Amino acid sequence: MKVYKTTELRNIVLIGSAKTGKTTLSEAILFEGGVINRRGTIEDKNTVSDYREIELERQNSVSSTILYAEHNGHKINVIDAPGFDDFIGEVVAGLNVADTAFVLINGQNGVEVGTEINWRQTVANNTPVAFLINHLEHEKSNFEESLRQLKNQFGNSVTPLQYPVNEGPSFNAIIDVLQQKMLKYPAGGGKAEVLDIPADQKDKAEEMLNSLIETAAENDEALMEAFFENGTLTNEELMRGLKLGIINRGLFPVLCIGAKLNYGVDALLDFAVNCLPAPNEMPGRMTKEGKELKCNVADPASALIFKTSIEEHLGEISFFKVYAGEITETMDMVNGVNNSKERISQIFAVAGKKREKLEKVVAGDIAATIKLKNARSNQTLNSPKNSGDVIVPIEYPAPKIMMAIRAKNTSDDEKLGVALTEIQKVDPTLTIEYSKELKQIIIRGQGELHLNIAKWNLENLEKIVIEYYAPKIPYRETITKSAKAMYRHKKQSGGSGQFGEVHMLIQPYTEGMKPQSEFPIRGTEEHTLPWGGKLVFNNCIVGGSIDARFQPAILKGIMEKIEEGPLTGSYARDIVVNIYDGKMHPVDSNELAFKLAGRQAFKEAFKNAGPKILEPIYDVEVMVPSDRMGDIMTDLQGRRAIIMGMDSEGNYQIVKAKVPLAEMNRYSTALSSITSGSGTYSLKFAEYAQVPGDVQTALLKAYEEQENEEE
């Protein structure tokens, strides 16, 4: 393959709801772009994009696939992203490196919840968008209704550049508004026959062209002046206004395709080459240091690894986009994140499993390499001249679901740990950690399907049988009033014994509180606890009843009990401890004795200080069709939710609520069931709040039973 200049590159990501035809379109693009000589189908399990075993089994995408095509002297990089919301991380990564998003619309269904979700991601990334209305050959396809929904949802900047002539089973012709021609396709698709517009369509096509000219002129002052002066734009001015509008998100073109029949794909590639921005025409990518990388070949090389894949017989493949300079084979580079040195052994243009060797890639291009030693997704590779640059990383959405995971066979525990580390390399939206607090391995993802795919990979590829189970809830314990306690630790077992007596007063901690005045405070230590909240430790000893050298031991004992709270074994927080009296023995007192005395005195005082269990509360936003609102509200209230407000976005309603984490287990499954798969949600930690009395009673009883079982 030739080395393409930056101006000859186009980077596109295909996004949209499941079943809109992204993979089928990818196949047609590869065919028209000369990468393959025969189009595969999802049903025959032979598409270039869906080649992984799990995708062949499920017949839908679970990971993005990097592809390319060559057309009219240009290289078009295509990222085929999955349609299910559970794999939204693949969409986010694609939008970060693509210069335009093609949002596919199923002409039978119009705007779907997946369309809305993907649209919000394009807004967040400020990515130019073109809408492709697909499946126009179906009997229930309705182009005009889909267009109406697009305009209603995303505004009047949604502008058709094409429309179908004979939509439905006989579909084979498209009116191209820009060319003012009709494109008629032969059976089997391919290159269109370019014909004059039929007389009965001419007025409509001219009216749409005039509307397009006016919309294009609005994107540039000079074009607006030319439009007012001449009443129209030249073809050159129109194309300039169209491209500016696309770049500035002031214009969202709509095109027609029948991807399965390969209708409209040649015109789509022409549109990509003629109207979409090259990488250097887009705003630059920022580094953490505030430098803007404008895809200039003359600058020192800088690239972002946006995806990692592990392929059989090849190992780890790193996909990257070059944002500055050029990268050549055998080039030495530096990881801007960890300062490790990497040699680029080979460079490939990739289309699924097909790989074509490249000598170099220039700014704006997307390529792959193998055998990097210490580089991961979201890290920057630089030339030695700018080794410290770090491109602002991709921000992935927060997890929505968490489960505990374990190997069914304990002999696989070590193997499972290694496999989970490898999975996390490939999918940054799947996070795994061992929780010291919960004593569980916790896996977090975007939904139940997301976690089920991870389970499939572990069991089928790694041969580790695993199980998910409900994670423990990270409760917190605190107190609501003051209480005193004392404890004497005394032990004699021949020779020197152990003796330590501690008297303490504990109080609830609040920000800005006044210290207790009952005892004089000789010294204060304030500790910000790793799990949130504070512990304030006051030394109030007068007259030397406890030597100062034993104070750290008392504090250590208290800290041990705070890490395993007296009520449920959860972390305790927001407590003031005042050590005001005690006793020592001249021979038998030691640090261990005072540590144990401090621990037990704290435990006794805690139980008498109006102890309360706190639970994590999350901000939850649920997006559902309007007709499902009542069912969603009822379900949330059954989960102890506090409804904070409602909003609307197009045809969808957004419910905002605060919900205890304990009530959100498997919510994604419940939401899907209630809304027939059309609802989505997000959640974010908000605060800790006291549990209701009945819930606390149940938790205390469960912990007591657990303790008895362990004894």
Residues 106 and 178 in one domain: yes
Does 711 have pLDDT greater than 60? no
648: domain CATH number is 3.30.70.240
The residue type found at 228 is F
Sign of CA dihedral 388, 394, 399, 404: negative
At residue 170 the predicted structure's pLDDT band, cuts being 50, 70 and 90, is very high
The pLDDT of 362-368, averaged and rounded, is: 97
How many separate domains does the chain show? 5
Q: What is the pLDDT of residue 469?
A: 93
The pLDDT of 178-199, averaged and rounded, is: 92
Residues 12 and 142 in one domain: yes
Q: What is the pLDDT of residue 706?
A: 79
Does 650 have pLDDT greater than 90? no
At residue 522 the predicted structure's pLDDT band, cuts being 50, 70 and 90, is very high
Residues 270 and 290 in one domain: no
- Which residue did the predictor score with more confidence, 650 or 153? 153
Task: Work out the mean pLDDT of the chain and round it to a whole number.
Answer: 92
Query: Smallest Cα–Cα separation from 521: which of 503, 495, 500, 541?
Result: 541
Q: CB burial class (10 A; 0-12, 13-18, 19+) of residue 155? A: exposed
Distinct helix (H) and strand (E) counts, the chain: 16, 38
Does 496 have pLDDT greater than 90? no
Q: CB burial class (10 A; 0-12, 13-18, 19+) of residue 315? A: exposed
The backbone torsions φ and ψ at residue 195, rounded to the nearest 5 degrees and listed phi first, read -125, 165
| 453: in domain | yes
The pLDDT of 50-76, averaged and rounded, is: 91
- Cα–Cα distances in Å, from 141 out to 169, 194, 256? 9, 24, 12
Residues 6+ apart with CB under 8 A from 509: 533, 534, 535, 536, 574, 575, 576
| 210: in domain | no
Lowest mean pLDDT among 25-34, 371-380, 666-675: 666-675
Q: What is the pLDDT of residue 467?
A: 95
Does 678 have pLDDT greater than 80? no
Q: Cα separation of 639 and 646, whole Å?
A: 18
100: domain CATH number is 3.40.50.300
448: domain CATH number is 3.30.70.870
225 Rama sector, left if φ>0, alpha if ψ -120 to 50, beta otherwise: alpha
Residues 372 and 299 in one domain: yes
The pLDDT of 252-262, averaged and rounded, is: 96
Does 710 have pLDDT greater than 70? no
Domain boundary among 358, 386, 414: 386
Give percent above pLDDT 70 in the chain: 99
Strands 534-539 and 575-583: parallel
At residue 54 the predicted structure's pLDDT band, cuts being 50, 70 and 90, is confident
What is the distance, to the nearest Å, from the Cα of residue 410 to the centroid of all Cα atoms in its chain?
31
Domain boundary among 587, 610, 633: 610
Measured torsion, CA atoms of residues 229, 230, 235, 239, in degrees rounded to the nearest 10: 30
Q: Residue 176: give the domain boundaries.
A: 6-198+250-281
Lowest mean pLDDT among 58-62, 604-608, 655-659: 58-62
Q: What is the pLDDT of residue 494?
A: 64
Q: Cα separation of 483 and 478, whole Å?
A: 13
Structure tokens belonging to residue 517:
């005045």
Under 8 Å between Cβ of 6 and 278: yes
Helix H, strand E, coil C: the string for 211-236 is HHHHHHHCCCHHHHHHHHHHCCCCHH
Residues 376 and 412 in one domain: no
The pLDDT of 511-540, averaged and rounded, is: 93
The pLDDT of 351-357, averaged and rounded, is: 90
Q: Cα separation of 507 and 213, whole Å?
A: 72
The pLDDT of 135-156, averaged and rounded, is: 94
